[in-house]
Amino acid sequence: MTNHETGFAPVNGTELYYERAGSGDAVVLLHTGNGNTTIWDGQFEELAREYTVVRYDCRGFGRSGYPDQPYQSADDLAALLDHLGIERAHVIGPSFGGRIAVEFAVLHPARVRSLLLAAPVSREHAWTDEVNTNRMAEEDLIWAGDDDKALDISLGSWVAGPKRTLADMDPTLIARLRVTATAGYDRRRRTVAETGNEPDELELVPNAAERLGSIRVPTLVLIGGMDQPDAIEIGERLARDIPGASAEYIADLGHMITMERPEEFLQKARTFLAGAAR
């Protein structure tokens, strides 16, 4: 891997930890809501053989700051690219990162070359009672300090999914996500202890779901057949409502498409990026 750079970028009142490596067209790797930059270990290095690859910890994750002020994740990404001198990039976003990728394309269309969305979520979705119940139970356990039980709920819901159990999953994958998700819980509790408040992300007006028709770049949505029905519905809607977008179903994968079989995802990413760059 060449030209491996790490640093902290001053961005909209905070600092974001980032890594950049390689040369050629820029590719940004966003992370999941239970992860940070480390979810891309291995794939980051491989993609840097062909592209200038950037991965970073979103605000409040990993080594990035989390000041007590409203923010917009898509604007954070735009400011990071400004700091790095990158005008346009291909954006790869799994889950929470997919939500940021879509909002970035809506708010900063000139900065996006393509979108690769793996089991993306969205803020506008009307979640089912089951997902909302699990989320509230997880939140209660986080603030009670019972991380193990909170993780059992979260990882059972979003990594195993409704058709599998955690015992069916690769224990190495589960162990990695327990580390990154626990770090996220700790950061949230520490922020509230220090500031008395957890910062809110600013709403988009109009919201991203109402502006999908404005996205005019090559877009591929990967959908796991073992994922939550909510996530499958979101992926199908994005593939339908983003002009020219396509969907690819992977029947035996769940929500963590980029991590369950990373080599397979890497090949899909390379194929998509090669086509999008034409």
- 114 with 188, same domain: the answer is no
State the 10-residue block means of pLDDT for the chain, 278 residues long: 89 96 97 97 97 97 90 97 98 98 98 98 96 97 97 97 95 96 94 89 93 97 97 98 97 97 97 90
Q: Write down which residue in 179, 195, 211 finishes a domain.
A: 195
- 122 with 29, same domain: the answer is yes
- 57 with 180, same domain: the answer is no
Q: Write down which residue in 151, 172, 195 finishes a domain.
A: 195
- 217 with 109, same domain: the answer is yes
Q: What is the pLDDT of residue 208?
A: 95
Among candidate residues 86, 84, 83, 28, the one with its CA nearest the CA of residue 57: 28
Q: Which residues pair with 250 in a beta bridge?
A: 224
Residue span of the structural domain in which 172 resides: 129-195
Q: What is the pLDDT of residue 2?
A: 66
- 87 with 214, same domain: the answer is yes
Would you say 273 and 53 are in contact if contact means Cβ atoms under 8 Å apart? no
- 145 with 113, same domain: the answer is no
3-state secondary structure of 249: strand
Would you say 116 and 94 are in contact if contact means Cβ atoms under 8 Å apart? no
Among candidate residues 157, 123, 161, the one with its CA nearest the CA of residue 139: 157
Cα–Cα distance for residue pair 264/257, rounded to 1 Å: 9
- 51 with 156, same domain: the answer is no
Q: What is the pTM of this model?
A: 0.96
Helices (H), the chain: 43-47, 73-84, 96-107, 129-144, 147-155, 171-195, 229-241, 257-260, 262-276
Greatest CA separation for the chain: 51
Q: What is the pLDDT of residue 116?
A: 98
Cα–Cα distance for residue pair 116/91, rounded to 1 Å: 6
Would you say 176 and 39 are in contact if contact means Cβ atoms under 8 Å apart? yes
- 53 with 116, same domain: the answer is yes
Q: What is the pLDDT of residue 23?
A: 96
- 152 with 95, same domain: the answer is no
Q: Write down which residue in 138, 162, 195 finishes a domain.
A: 195
CATH number of 114's domain: 3.40.50.1820
In the 8-state DSSP scheme, what is residue 260? H
- 220 with 235, same domain: the answer is yes
Cα–Cα distance for residue pair 242/238, rounded to 1 Å: 6
- 122 with 133, same domain: the answer is no
Cβ neighbours for 162, distance < 8 A, ≥ 6 positions apart:
226, 228, 229
- 120 with 205, same domain: the answer is yes
Tally of domains within the chain? 2
Q: What is the pLDDT of residue 198?
A: 87
- Angle at Cα 173 formed by Cα 166 and Cα 165, nearest 5°? 10
